[in-house]
Amino acid sequence: MYVHIPFCAARCPYCDFATAPATTRLRARYLAALAAEIGREGAALGRPRARTLFVGGGTPSLLEPDEVDALAAALRGAFAFRPLEATVEANPATLDRARLGAWKRLGITRLSLGAQSLSAEGLQALGRTHQPGDVAPAVAAARSLGLAVAIDLIFGWPGQTAELWAADLAAAQALAPDHLSCYPLELETEREEADANWPGGGWPVVARWRARAAAAVPDEDAVASLYEQAERTLRRGGFRHYEIANWARPRRRSRHNLAYWRNDEWIGLGAGAHSHLGGFRSRNPAALTAYLARAEAGLGRLAAERVDEAVDGAILALRLDEGLALDRHAARFGRVAADRARRGLRSLDGTGLVRWSGETARLTPRGRLLATEVFLRLLPD
């Protein structure tokens, strides 16, 4: 189960998630609509058990303890709520013990910290509002409550060098997290539906920032080499790579995100959240007012763009180091789909992008850098 809390203290100029100002007068209305949606969906699905929960955003750690308690009551009322893993995303500057205590009461087992960089240069280059010194106290507070800790980093920011990246990786490892995600900076300039949530003339400012940043980021080869640097450094530090952008200590992989990559079923609740249930993809509108209008009218999710489930399943499986097992793929999507995937991947023989063990295909380290080239071969002709 995914629950989206869209509110943020400020808008980070590179971010494309469905976010909104924390002070928005729609906040109470949003939380009431979300609780109603949780109740409605739990009843419609027959009060199923959620194996994992991820509360993402936005900045869910901004919620006040009484807001977290109300969310917990809604979840417990509507679902058999005994998750094996429950994660909340946090901005390092917004955590305090009272808030963390409320999340712990909700049943959180894991804190995912959006550190992005641990240097003043990196945070400034990314337009972040927290300070490098905010991260260690947040990790310590999570640890004192027995929570697992995941840290997100971004690489390829304007002005970043191999030395600055080495310093970020070292500082992150010094915090002894259970899990690390390293994402390349992406600077989409397509205006998102969720942009409507920020008042004023926000978009031109964001678009100008992105254009300036795009002119100052390291080139593609340099970004690829930063990625390889992360692979080497984290392997030496005892982390196991398991997905293109994700590393974990043994037995600390994100069960929740594994469910996405294994193309399992999930329900997404809240603005902009996507769901995958019964082989059918659906979504909620990302614009807050559009989400509220639907949720308050008791209307369900919108059908999402149709995707070829077999192609999607193959691409997601290849993102994982465990790779695409064609026998399992055939059992799930049929022999024709498995043969099509095999043909597409075999057309890359000799390129060094894919390696085979029996009927299982995996990306090589070079294949991870050029994953889009591999995925294109899986698309129908």
> Is 155 a binder of ligand SF4 (CB under 6 A)?
no
Chosen residue from 2, 3, 4, 17 binding ligand SF4 by CB under 6 A:
17
> Is 21 a binder of ligand SF4 (CB under 6 A)?
no
Rounded distance, CA 51 to CA 271, Å? 22
Task: Spell out, one character per residue from 106 to 125, where the chain touches ligand SF4: x when CB under 6 A holds, - when not.
Answer: --------x-----------
* Beta-ladder partners of 363: 354
Nearest 5°: the CA angle 378, 362, 330 is 55
Q: Least CB distance from residue 207 to ligand SF4, whole Å?
A: 15
- DSSP string computed for 271-319: TT-EEEETTEEEE--SSHHHHHHHHHTT--PEEPPP--HHHHHHHHHHH
> Is 15 a binder of ligand SF4 (CB under 6 A)?
yes
Burial 91-127 (b: 16+ CB within 10 A, else e): bbbbbeeebbebbbebebbbbbbbbbbbbebbbebbb
Chosen residue from 19, 117, 197, 246 binding ligand SF4 by CB under 6 A:
19
Task: Spell out, one character per residue from 271 to 300, where the chain touches ligand SF4: x when CB under 6 A holds, - when not.
Answer: ------------------------------
Q: Least CB distance from residue 70 to ligand SF4, whole Å?
A: 21
Q: Which is nearer to ligand SF4, 8 or 34 (CB)?
A: 8
> Is 12 a binder of ligand SF4 (CB under 6 A)?
yes
Q: Which is nearer to ligand SF4, 3 or 8 (CB)?
A: 8
Q: Quick one: which of 330, 321, 326, 327 has its CA closest to 367?
A: 321
**Considering only residues 43-62, where is the footprint of ligand SF4 by CB under 6 A?**
57-59
Q: Are 294 and 361 in contact (CB under 8 A)?
A: no
Q: Least CB distance from residue 128 to ligand SF4, whole Å?
A: 7
Structure tokens at 269: 């609740």
Rounded distance, CA 87 to CA 108, Å? 6
Rounded distance, CA 134 to CA 92, Å? 6
Structure tokens at 20: 């909104």
Rounded distance, CA 117 to CA 135, Å? 10
Task: Spell out, one character per residue from 68 to 107, where the chain touches ligand SF4: x when CB under 6 A holds, - when not.
Answer: -----------------------x----------------
Candidate ranges 11-19, 102-110, 212-220, 267-275; the one touching ligand SF4 (CB under 6 A): 11-19
> Is 8 a binder of ligand SF4 (CB under 6 A)?
yes
Which residue in this structure is represented by tokens 């995100």? 257
In the three-class reduction of DSSP (H, G, I as helix; E, B as strand; rest coil), residue 380 is classed as coil
The count of chain residues that interact with ligand SF4, using the rule CB under 6 A, is: 11
Q: Are 261 and 52 in contact (CB under 8 A)?
A: no
Q: Which is nearer to ligand SF4, 22 or 136 (CB)?
A: 22
> Is 11 a binder of ligand SF4 (CB under 6 A)?
yes
Q: Which residues form the interface with ligand SF4 (CB under 6 A)?
A: 8, 11-12, 15, 17, 19, 57-59, 91, 114
